[in-house]
Structure 1
Amino acid sequence: MWNTLREIRKFTPKAEVDRILGASPVRIEDRPAWYYGGGFVLHYSPVRFRVEGIQRVEYGGPGEYIVGGWHFPDADTLKLELGLTCFDAEDAVPLEEDIVDGVITYQSTFQEIHRCAARHSLEYYSEGETQCLVEGSMAFLRRWIAWEEYEFYFYGKSRKTKVTGFRFVQPE
């Protein structure tokens, strides 16, 4: 599914995405997000838009247009990341194909992705930590790397921690 999904252009109507993927998605609560199976959640926008300078310019009619999504290789991580309490899908699995062709897989570590980005381009690169409130105190949740159209998640502080999920934006 991933090889097909990453070829779908941003702002493709949901009906066309469903036809291409051949899926019967399940809506995630009252969000503009749909679960397509295998750990994929796709996010939709009610309008098409482009950014001109610092202005967001909307165009076209209302609808549901794909913007991007997430992939998590297990249901527990998917539920945690998306803040879901009651979500029944248990079919999330690691990708068989590369996340980024020949560069990044679920076996890639924080350190490997950092080095890869440094070799290619750090123009659209950032990294950091996310924390959450646990029993009245802030606690480490995960590390992340945002690079180009991806955000990679790592559930460990070590630079050798492997990818545990990712967010992506559809190509324009």
Structure 2
Amino acid sequence: MTFGEYAESWFKDRDYAATTRERKGSALNLHILSTFRAEPLGDFTTPQVRRWRTTLIDQGVGGATVAKAYPILRAIMNTAVDDGLVQRNPCRIKGGATAPNAERPFLSGAEVFGLADALPARYRVMILVASLPRCASENLRSGRHHYVDSIMRSRVRRPIALIVGLLST
């Protein structure tokens, strides 16, 4: 039996909601069956699965898309193991279902102050508060920044008081 025959049968047996069926069916057809359709089910190896995943990423398929396709392949192969058609699931990539996140750059202190200086004075405090790790955006949304007066002095004894040192410089 080929992987394609088994995967199509497996997919028909799933009780998915319409949108889930469409999303998973698309991933199955575009990213899994396009590579493994004719492969004999029992001939899968872990290195093949690794190469498949790497090839998708190298071809420019988004990390989130690859991370969604991998669990489908793994689930199909888990069922094949349960059905006694393969001895061991070749889908053994640690983190294979996790989308790689690009590291997000942070502004340096000088860049934060440069940005704050480039904006109108009324936005300066907001930029400075938002750049402090302990002052999450909820502090900005809560209106606590309104407690800072027009000459940039803090009149607050709550979390925004952390910026007193920044504002007095």
Fold equivalence (TM over 0.5)? no
Structure number with the higher helix fraction is: 2
Structure number with the higher strand fraction is: 1
What TM-score do you get using the length of structure 2 for normalisation?
0.21
Larger radius of gyration: 2
Q: Which is bigger in relative contact order (C-alpha 8 A, separation at least 6)?
A: 1
